[in-house]
Chains A and B, each alone.
Chain A
Amino acid sequence: MTMTTESPASLYAAREPVFPKAVKGTFRRLKWWIMGLSLAVYYLTPWIRWDRGVHLPDQAVMIDLANRRMFFFWIEIWPQEFYYIAGLLIMAGVGLFLFTSVLGRVWCGYACPQTVWVDLYQHVERWIEGDRNAQFRLLKSKWTLDKARKRFSKWALWLLIAVATGGAWIFYFADAPTLFAEVFTGSAHPIAYATIGTLTATTFVLGGFLREQVCIYMCPWPRIQAAMLDENSLTVTYKYWRGEPRGKHRKSEAAQSLGDCVDCNACVAVCPTGVDIREGQQIGCITCALCIDACDDIMAKIGKPRGLIDYCSLADEQLEQEGKSAWPVLKRIIRPRTIIYSVLWAGIGIAMITTLFLRDTIDLTVQRDRNPIFVTLSDGSVRNGYEVRILNRNPVPNVFRLSARTEAGYLRLKVQGQDASAIPIPADQTRKLRVFLTAPAGSETQERVPVRLWVENLMTRERSSYDTHFQGPKP
């Protein structure tokens, strides 16, 4: 702790502009592939067609809010089955735990939309304004026609990407080709335009201007994942025991005692969040690994082995400092914690797939009237009312038969305004029916008679049942 006499620092600080330098290498190539893949998945998925017959949409992936259905290729999710989505979210969570405990902030570095779009925006920036130094000069320079041209064409391109980003989002919620035409003819729903507008604005501002500020000040994830990293997780590490003391390599005697780091600043120059990895683990490091590429390049040029900055776990760091060799990667990956995460992840996935395949195409729910519990009719017979819902999950209209089975053989079943032996239900719809069971006068209606209602799809012969009961007056 040192004491100084300068005046107190300001309570707030301006953002330091970051101009990451272009870099080539293994991890840059990996980032290209992942960026291409994730953008392709995002932009193209809504355009995949999937034939579901005339009664259902033929879009492979679609969240149909108006009809309350979700479609994912051969899977159709009804709103009452939202637990599948909950399960998917739990899988995503556990998957994130797994990846974090193995590879650290790999989500931040490669797959997070903020990272991917900022990366894309920075490429556009470099393409129009030039690399790091040119961008820096442009920032300092007075406004000229050339600067205006560069700035406005950059912003225009960013805006184009932002509109495409917001535009692609809405295609997940309606038939993409139809909506595409509607958007351009101005006949789409106002919510579609509002969504495009909002996402365009957030993409433009977060990707173009706020950038690393999102990661450092807004995102909760860098804080949460600190709890998931351990000494075996891979992080981007500057191997200071090899690099220090750093200094320019000259052919002098003093240089012989220096470490491998030539203090060329290449690792800082390429960093998209503007941190110096040589200061160790920090919240600003999203482990994008571009500094590894930059440093490897320099090491090759000065004839030193690669990996002064490299993926390394805290435990291996310890070993390497003691002069021992690091463990094989697999040994770091396979450990009780990651096995538990994997088993949990796979368990939920297998359970969901199993239930999805065992799912009936019929669903029968019965709600018995409780106000009143029973009705006495003029001839002394006793009637119970039920609200029955039959769900036809088939992509075609089907006809169903409803029947009641009970040990007390005297109950009569009647469906209001409908022949119980031929109930038509449209494709992929639910039908609500009012059903009455009546016990004739004088029959021994005890307090509760168990009843099983059966519904049979007369076309597919599938059946489903629901247990309820019949209740009469106390004897």
Chain B
Amino acid sequence: MAEPERDALTGTVTTQHEWDGIQELDTPLPRWWLYTFYLTIVWGIGYTIFFPAWPLISTATDGVLGFSSRAEVAEAIEAHAASNAEISARIAAADFTEIAANSDLDSFARAGGAAIYRTYCSQCHGAGAAGAVGYPNLLDDDWLWGGDHEAIAYTLRHGIRWESDEDTHWSQMPAFGDDEILTNEEIETVADYALSLSGQAEATDAGAELFLDHCSGCHGEQGLGDPEQGAPNLADAIWLYGSEREALIETITHSRFGVMPAWSNRLTEAEIRQVAHYIHSLGGGE
């Protein structure tokens, strides 16, 4: 056995490691420190008994306490829903004017509506609700099927051209080209007339006549549209499929068939009202 070397000044045993003439003392650890170390080992073993730990082939030991982070999240979500149950019930029962007037309901509906919007609506309408070509912008004041609270809520409940919902919004513009109702020249003429309604082209008599015969039934003589049948306003600055002449000719030739799902099966009435309130609050609500 090697003889321990002692430091002359302190009398402490050294590790006999030396760097540049400096020797490291082998000062003993405090005993409580050692006990703390043993305690952590005991704690560690206990932890693997009480909590999920040891990996098995396709799973891991469950632990005596049966703890699961997934169950904890589910519990937290349930508790959260339970804590909101009362205000949700109030929103489901309340009139929209009541929701807007009550600051509790208002802020709850807006925050909740925003969260639901991001989950279910933003895929088509965009995170900022600005829409895209074919997907309406929800921030502006142009509404195909009406933009007051109740109209928005109805659209949410039943969707647009959603076949499995009996009460869905339904309308279909004819494909004037595909169905050979109009010739290509006539389509171009009526497209120019439609653009003239918002001052983007010169109006022609031939165009006016074609428009009166084929379009005014739904879009109205002045082209102001009709939210009852989802006919867009052709005289304003907003174009769902673009305001270019080509886009318009394409629409008249082939028609369009935009679809929105009905949400009444997937969202509760309170949730639909929250989303409707949120969308209405984005700045374009009527």
Contact = CB atoms under 8 A, between A and B. Distances in A.
A2 B1 CA distance: 17
Interface in A403-459: 416-417, 434, 436, 441
Contacts of A372: 126, 128, 130, 137, 139
Interface stretch (B53-61, B154-162, B230-238, B251-259): B230-238
B7 interface: yes
A2 B12 CA distance: 11
Interface stretch (A6-14, A237-245, A319-327): A6-14
Contact of A378 (B8, B233, B281): B233
Given A371-B127, A378-B238, A12 B142 contact: no
Nearest to A382: B237
A9 B281 contact: no
Interface string A1-37: 1111111111111110000000000000000000000
Nearest to A3: B3
Given A369-B128, A375-B137, A383 B29 contact: no
A416 B281 contact: yes
Given A3-B3, A6-B4, A10-B28, A385 B283 contact: yes
B70 interface: no
Main secondary structure of the interface of A (DSSP, over half): loop
A380 B283 contact: no
Q: How large is the interface on A (under 10, 10 to 19, 20 to 34, 35 or more residues)?
A: 35 or more
A1 B140 CA distance: 89
Contact of A13 (B30, B126, B128): B30
A2 B10 CA distance: 12
B19 interface: no
Contact of A375 (B32, B130, B233): B130
B32 A213 contact: yes
Contact of B31 (A4, A14, A383): A14
Q: How large is the interface on B (under 10, 10 to 19, 20 to 34, 35 or more residues)?
A: 20 to 34
A17 to B, nearest CB: 13
Nearest to B23: A1
B260 interface: no
Contacts of B137: 372, 375
A136 B31 CA distance: 21
Nearest to B14: A1
A353 interface: no
A376 interface: yes
A348 interface: no
A435 to B, nearest CB: 10
A12 B140 CA distance: 76
B26 interface: yes
A242 to B, nearest CB: 21
B3 A377 contact: no
A379 interface: yes
Contacts of A436: 283
Contacts of B126: 371-372
Contacts of B141: 377-378
B130 A378 contact: no
Give the 9 A-B CB pairs with smallest separation, nearest first.
A371-B128, A372-B130, A378-B236, A380-B237, A13-B28, A12-B29, A378-B142, A375-B139, A12-B34
Interface of A: 1-15, 210, 213, 217, 369-372, 375-380, 383, 385, 416-417, 434, 436, 441
Interface of B: 1, 3-8, 12-13, 26, 28-34, 100, 126-128, 130, 137, 139-142, 233, 236-238, 281, 283-284
24 contacts: A1-B8, A3-B5, A3-B6, A8-B13, A10-B28, A11-B29, A12-B29, A12-B30, A12-B31, A13-B29, A13-B31, A210-B32, A213-B30, A369-B128, A372-B128, A372-B137, A375-B137, A375-B140, A375-B284, A376-B237, A377-B142, A380-B236, A385-B139, A416-B283
